[in-house]
Amino acid sequence: MQYEIWHARYTRTMKLFVDTGDIDEIRRAAEWGILDGVTTNPTLIAKTGRGFRDTVLAICQAVPGGDISAEVVATDYEGMLREALEISGWNPQIVVKVPLIPPGVRLVRTLAEKGIRTNVTLVFSVSQALLAAKAGATYISNFVGRVDDASADGMEAVAESVEMVATYGYDAEILVASVRHPLHVVQAVQAGAHVATMPFKVMEMLFKHPLTDLGLQRFLDDWNAAGLTIFDRASG
Ligand code: G3P
The model's pTM is 0.93
Fold type of domain 2-209? TIM Barrel (3.20.20)
Q: Which residues of 64-73 are buried (b: 16+ CB within 10 A; e: fewer)?
A: eebbbbbbbe
Distance CA 48, CA 26 (A): 12
Q: Is the CB of 161 under 6 A from ligand 1?
A: no
pLDDT tens figures, 145-197? 999 999 999 999 999 999 999 999 999 999 999 999 999 999 999 999 999 99
97 among known catalytic residues = yes
Q: Using the mean position of ligand 1's atoms as its centre, give its distance from the Cα of residue 41 in Å.
A: 8
Q: Using the mean position of ligand 1's atoms as its centre, give its distance from the Cα of residue 211 in Å.
A: 31
Q: Is the CB of 142 under 6 A from ligand 1?
A: no
Q: Note the pLDDT of residue 5.
A: 57
Give the mean pLDDT of 192-216.
98
Q: Note the pLDDT of residue 6.
A: 56
**70 in helix, strand or coil?**
strand
For residue 66, CA distances in Å to 18, 57, 61, 70 come to 11, 12, 9, 13
Q: Using the mean position of ligand 1's atoms as its centre, give its distance from the Cα of residue 192 in Å.
A: 20
Q: Note the pLDDT of residue 234.
A: 76
Q: Given a cut of 80, is residue 9 above it in pLDDT?
A: no
Give the mean pLDDT of 87-105.
98
Residue 176, beta-bridge partner list? 142, 196
Q: Are 138 and 116 spatial neighbours (Cβ–Cβ below 8 Å)?
A: no
Q: Given a cut of 80, is residue 11 above it in pLDDT?
A: no
Distance CA 175, CA 95 (A): 13
Domain boundaries, the chain: 2-209
